[in-house]
Amino acid sequence: MIAALGWMLADTPDPDTVTPGPVGFLAIAFVAVAVVLLGFDLVRRIRRTTYRAEIQERLAEEARAAETTGPAEPAEPAAPESPTRPDAPRERGGPQG
């Protein structure tokens, strides 16, 4: 048994010359790409959560301000610039004929 173990250990390659090869490179490249994509997704989610918190805070401030000042009056519609309807045909200048 010891002889068989000695024979197996004798056939092992030199540890200084062993490399992971293309399969090892592809595995590490896959992990690196996955980490970069997860990082982008993390930043996007954190940014979205921050924006939602800011909007909720702004809405809460507006609600508190509305409670203290009373209900806001609706804005009056703006007066039209010209007395004609916007969809009415325009008169063209020049001779009729």
pLDDT for the residue numbered 11: 73
Q: In the structure encoding, which two tokens stand for residue 96, read together?
A: 């009729």
Structurally, how many domains does the chain consist of? 1
Residue 50 in any domain: the answer is yes
The pLDDT of residue 13? 74
Residue 41 lies in a domain: yes
Task: Count Cβ atoms below 10 Å from residue 17 Cβ, excluding itself.
Answer: 6
* Structure confidence at residue 37 (pLDDT): 98
Q: Is residue 31 part of a domain?
A: no
Tell me, yes or no, whether 57 lies in a domain.
yes
Give mean pLDDT, residues 67-72.
73
For 11-32, how does the pLDDT look when each residue is reduced to its tens digit (9 = 90+)?
Answer: 777 777 778 889 999 999 999 9
What is the structure's pLDDT at 38?
98
Quick one: pLDDT band at residue 78, thresholds 50, 70, 90? low
Question: Where do runs of H (alpha helix) occur along 1-97?
Answer: 2-10, 21-69
Give the domain range for residue 55.
36-68
pTM: 0.48
Whether the predicted pLDDT of 97 surpasses 70:
no
Q: What SS3 class is residue 91?
A: coil
Specify if 1 maps to a domain.
Answer: no
Kindly report, residue by residue over 28-50, the tens digit of the pLDDT. 999 999 999 999 999 999 999 99
Residue 52 lies in a domain: yes
